[in-house]
Amino acid sequence: MSDVSTMREVMTSDLAVLFLLRANIAAAIAILVVLAARPMVRRLIGPTQGYWLWALVPVAAATSLFPSLQDFMSSWRQMGTGGNDFSIPYSGPLLVAFFIGAAVTLVLFVIGEVRFRRMARAGLAGPAVMGLAWQTIVVPHDYHERFGPAERALISRHELTHIDRSHPLHNRLIAAALLLGWFNPLVHVAAHCMRLDQELACDAAVMEQNPGSRRAYAETLLKAHSDTPWSTFACALADGGRHPLEVRLQALRSPKVSLRRYLVAAGLVSGLAAATALGIWTLAPQTFGA
């Protein structure tokens, strides 16, 4: 009985390491595809729809696990007979190292969030959306002096778009992906780029509702730009450094996308999503020993 229990423990750690490696490799492939495609997609169908291109990454990661789940069921049935010889060298220490890294990453998230909330309470952060169940728009202490009525209306529309599109929840999912892939540099690149695309999508939504306010909105972004502490979970109007701000200002000049281009590009994105998921599922090894 103890031998079977030991085999179960070993197999559990082997499977956990295998799942993490396969999911991160599949996610990395999808991230490279998205990074290559996102400039063209934004240009063809706009930032709002281009933001959803990032859905390829979790789809690819989840798809990569399906062959492993099938192998898991067959290997579990073979454990009592000694027919399973699958193992990953040092899977136990690797799993411990993973949890240590994830714990350190989580602590850094919490420290950053505490700092951001402290600054927000002091009126030194924002405009931004905080919270999940009860979202709150936080503004700096000089909000009414720094921004005029028209600018405040644009800021409110931007932050409300974050709330309407559930971006605070998306940011929690991004944080979860960073915990699961803290050792994968491409996951960190993707998190940064996805947050930028999130802001570009909200900018485009504001401009669609206020087409005559491009100059005023650009000036609002410049006024809102600051070097206050960054939050993993909050949706801030202007953060992330100089380069993302330049990208957003440049994107405000983009013309409105025609319906024909939108339909053609939407079909291409859908096909890309299906091809990526199918390709990863097909190329994934079908057995543990592969």
User: 137 and 128 in contact (C-beta within 8 Å)?
Assistant: yes
166 and 36 in a common domain? no
157 and 67 in a common domain? no
pLDDT recorded at residue 104: 98
Report if residue 94 sits inside a domain.
Answer: no
250 and 121 in a common domain? yes
157 and 243 in a common domain? yes
User: 261 and 213 in contact (C-beta within 8 Å)?
Assistant: no
E-assigned strand segments in 146-275: 235-236
Determine the Cα–Cα distance for residues 121 and 138; give it in Å rounded to an integer: 9
The SS3 assignment for 127 reads coil
263 and 220 in a common domain? no
Q: Report which residue type is found at 203.
A: D
Q: Which residues of 205-220 are buried (b: 16+ CB within 10 A; e: fewer)?
A: bbbeeeeebeeebbbb
Q: Among all chains, which residue has been given the structure tokens 């440049």?
A: 250
| Domain range enclosing 225 | 99-255
Q: In the predicted model, what is the mean pLDDT of residues 95-118?
A: 95
194 and 137 in a common domain? yes
Q: What is the pLDDT of residues 150-205, one digit of tens each?
A: 999 999 999 999 999 999 999 999 999 999 999 999 999 999 999 999 999 999 99
Per-residue pLDDT at 244 exceeds 70: yes
- From 58-62, 82-86, 190-194, the region with the lowest mean pLDDT: 82-86
CA dihedral of residues 68, 70, 72, 78 (deg, nearest 10): -140
Report if residue 188 sits inside a domain.
Answer: yes
Report if residue 18 sits inside a domain.
Answer: yes
Residue 137 has a CB neighbour count (10 Å cut-off) of 19
pLDDT recorded at residue 86: 55
271 and 224 in a common domain? no
190 and 63 in a common domain? no
145 and 12 in a common domain? no
112 and 222 in a common domain? yes
Please state the pTM of the whole predicted model.
0.83
How many domains does the chain fold into? Answer: 2
DSSP string, 135-159: -EEE--TTHHHHS-HHHHHHHHHHH
Strand order of the sheet with strand 128-130? 136-138, 128-130, 235-236
Report if residue 242 sits inside a domain.
Answer: yes
Q: Which residues contact 19 (CB under 8 A, 6 or more apart)?
A: 65, 68
205 and 229 in a common domain? yes
106 and 244 in a common domain? yes
